[in-house]
Chain A
Amino acid sequence: MYDKLWLIPFFPLVGSIINGLLGKRFIKNEKIIGAIGTGAIFLSFLVSCKFFYQLVNDSVKIHETVVASWMSVGNLQVDWGFLLDPLSAVMLMVVCGVGSLIHLYSIGYMHGEEGFYRFFCYMNLFAFSMLMLVLGNNALVMFVGWEGVGLCSYLLIGYYFEKQSAGDAAKKAFVMNRVGDFGFLLGLFTIFWTLGSKHGVWTINFVEISEKAHLLSGDMILGAGVTTVATLCFFLGATGKSAQLPLFTWLPDAMEGPTPVSALIHAATMVTAGVYMIGRMNVLFAMSPTTMMVVAVVGALTAIFAATIGFAQNDIKRVLAYSTVSQLGFMFVAMGVGAFTAGIFHLMTHAFFKACLFLGSGSVIHAMHHALHHAHLSDDAQDMRNMGGLRKKMPITWATFGISCLAISGLPFFSGFFSKDEILWWTFASTRGSKVVWVIVVVAAFMTAFYMFRCLYMTFYGEQKTNPKAKDHVHESPWVITLPLVVLAGLATVGGFVGIPHVIDVAHIGNKLDQFLAPVFHHSQQLHNIEAHGTASTEIILMIFSVVVALVGIGVATMMYLKNPDMPAKFTAKFSKLHRWVFNKWYVDEAYDVLFVNTTKKLGIFCWRGFDVNVIDGIVNGLAKLIGAISTALRHTQTGQFHNYALTMVFGTVVMLAIFILN
């Protein structure tokens, strides 16, 4: 029944090969290339829908199919095998669904770019790798995907390789991801080796690892539990891929790539691979409270840290990038407090609204770019200070962007509300939760609402600050761009209803997502006694509190950035006293300036410049420099002189013999 699973990654692979080989010389036509690329991933989407539907109605929820034997090394048998369970099914729908929309969008966005075929070739290759990552039934197939998505990300960040900054960004992403990969491999080998050498189970199959994981409970390595060491290594892998502290600085730089790439790879799918991986190995993570605490704390710190930096950004894509880092932090908090379902839920809703936000920003940048180009200006098309008042010019983009802002801020009944609320509740009430983490996350949620609305207001409201020459050339984008926006905005609005919390479930629909994912997560949650316990009234109070927090964030942003030129004048005329009391710009702004703008902006700039640029980049660059220095030193041993070579040989011999004799 499920033996056709291989079709899902197969279509994008074929699409990629066709466009890669024939795109430049034979097809040439942008429409055909775009249709092939989009069609390939859309076919995968249809197949995924079929399997998803099948799985929902199936009583058995975990299915493995083996396409071919890959290798048998000693007593280890590895297959090209796929695993369809509720977790991978949800991911499939997200990757293929959002992926299809972004492919469609790219046809419009990339129109006229040099290397159009190359773009679609890479995008399909990315989709293929991501689907391998999601579907793999063992760690090696997952690693194939894991490396593949990294490679595609690297290629796509450096897409505009004539730009120096794009090349540097690609390099940075590469270095940080390799650090992560190193962790992933170490973790894998630790589990594999301990299970094999101590318990005779040589396997890298996820289902088998989950079944046998309990054997590892007493094992120690390096003075700590094996599961703790291994899961920490895995988590290091996740921090690299999913841009968490301290390996997050590559993600904002990755915005050098084309915007659809940012939406697909650096917001909706690839960067969530780390979260997915933890979900896949939840049995192992649940065994180690230490690791889970580390995950939650790192996630929370990343969430608040990136949100702070988001204040100081004026580049629309960088705001969204830091917001992505911050939201990924939320997901890791969820994983860390044992709310696996909530983490995956937020992953899904985040894919909807963040993809929509990125595509919306792309639509704006696209329009700005054309207008500026038309007027022969070289202003920055991504700088929000050049925008403003685009609401009238780009109504669809505005509406969808606004809806997504409401969703990400967690306003009731938008998708982000449900997922964020579930995370907050678990953080507060879970047996693995922590009140301190909860406070940090709530503050981060407040900041999220604030800077997202700041971004919305600066872009779409107020006076248009675009150069007058270009002002009138800003137009709404074509349908291939707006259609995905509308669909994603729709999903961002209603997508949350699959996971309605029990306390407000008046219609008794039930938390569908939780029920669906139960076969994957409930076992380990029950085994390790991970649950959220609290009274319904506490939950409702917390929920109201988080809504209030979001509203305050939005309110502050509204006061600050929604500068309607008429309003102050009218108010001054009608209620001059009240105005002076409440709406006097001087009080509010001044107070805000003192309390908020200056301090947080300074904090934001400090975090960004001081920590991000100096410390993290310093470490990365320092490492690169150290390796470079070693390499140069080694290069200078290569003198080309016969005597030096012969002497090294003899010296090596003498040293070897000395070691040998001393032994």
Chain B
Amino acid sequence: MISVYHYMSVAAILFAMSTYGVLTRRNAIVIFMCIELMLNSVNLTFISLSSHLQNIDGQIFVFFVMAVAAAEAAVGLALMIAFYRNRESIDVDNINMLKW
């Protein structure tokens, strides 16, 4: 029997993996995908909890998270383009003009 704990365990592992991805990847777009993965692990938690608790709030929250993720992706890609036009790269190692 697959319980809510299994779902949540998967979500937690997913969250940890995506955090690891954020820390190790260099391509800004891949980092961004990892962040999306983080949000999706949150979504998974909410949906499983919502069905477990018989409470609709969780599912509603998922919609908002998706909306926010989409908006963030749109803005993020635009920013990456702006950055690329100035620096001809989206490698985060090149984000280093502002420091000290």
Contact = CB atoms under 8 A, between A and B. Distances in A.
B76 to A, nearest CB: 13
Interface in A625-658: 635-636, 638-643, 646-647, 650
A650 B19 contact: yes
Contacts of A641: 92-93, 95-96, 99
B62 to A, nearest CB: 24
A650 B100 CA distance: 21
B23 A640 contact: no
B92 A638 contact: no
B100 A640 contact: yes
Interface in B74-100: 92-93, 95-100
B22 interface: yes
B100 A638 contact: yes
Interface in A591-645: 635-636, 638-643
Interface in B1-59: 19, 22-23, 26, 31
Nearest to A636: B100
A650 B23 contact: yes
A440 B19 CA distance: 71
Contacts of B96: 639-641
Interface residues of A, number: 11
Contacts of A640: 95-100
B23 A635 contact: no
Contacts of A647: 23
A101 B82 CA distance: 67
B22 A646 contact: yes
B23 A646 contact: yes
Contacts of B23: 643, 646-647, 650
A647 B31 CA distance: 13
Contacts of B19: 650
Contacts of B97: 640
Nearest to B26: A643
Nearest to B24: A643
Nearest to A635: B100
A643 to B, nearest CB: 7
Contacts of B95: 640-642
Contacts of A650: 19, 23
A638 B99 contact: yes
Contacts of A639: 96, 99
Contacts of A635: 100
Nearest to B19: A650
B100 A642 contact: no
Contacts of A636: 100
B35 to A, nearest CB: 10
Contacts of B92: 641-643
A635 B100 CA distance: 5
A631 to B, nearest CB: 11
Given A640-B100, A642-B31, A642-B92, 10 more contacts: A635-B100, A636-B100, A639-B99, A640-B96, A640-B97, A640-B99, A641-B99, A643-B26, A647-B23, A650-B23
Interface of B: 19, 22-23, 26, 31, 92-93, 95-100
26 contacts: A635-B100, A638-B99, A638-B100, A639-B96, A639-B99, A640-B95, A640-B97, A640-B98, A640-B99, A640-B100, A641-B92, A641-B93, A641-B95, A641-B96, A641-B99, A642-B31, A642-B92, A643-B23, A643-B26, A643-B92, A643-B93, A646-B22, A646-B23, A647-B23, A650-B19, A650-B23
The 5 A-B pairs of least Cβ separation, nearest first, read A640-B99, A642-B92, A640-B96, A642-B95, A638-B100
